[in-house]
Amino acid sequence: MQDFNEINAELDAYGHGLQSRPQIVVANKTEMPGTEDNVLRLQDTVNARVKSEVNTDREGLTDPQVYAISAATGDGLDKLNFVIAERVQELRQAAEDTNNKDSEYDKI
């Protein structure tokens, strides 16, 4: 949770619109013993952050789901890849719908 909060504090401090960019939260190393509790705590932290962002101009955490993966074993990677591809497609479509042909998401 500390890493998640620190990363978001850095995004806020840096500015330049990074704090409002879409985020997908991923918990890695889930093959390690005892990580289930950490993933649940991270999910609670993300849920609280999403609720605190309602009615603000910050839109980064529109997906409150924490994706648990293990890069070592490959668990959860297929789902994560699908979610990322789906989200990029949604962002591209939204940019196209607003007639912003030179969208920052076209370069992804």
Parallel, antiparallel or unpaired: strands 66-68 and 25-27: parallel
Per-residue pLDDT of the chain (108 residues; tens, 9 = 90+): 788 889 888 988 987 888 788 889 999 999 999 999 999 999 999 888 887 766 555 555 666 789 999 999 999 999 999 999 999 998 888 888 886 555 565 565
Tokens standing for residue 24? 């997908």
| pLDDT value at residue 76 | 97
What values do phi and psi take at 16, rounded to 5? Answer: 55, 25
| pLDDT value at residue 5 | 87
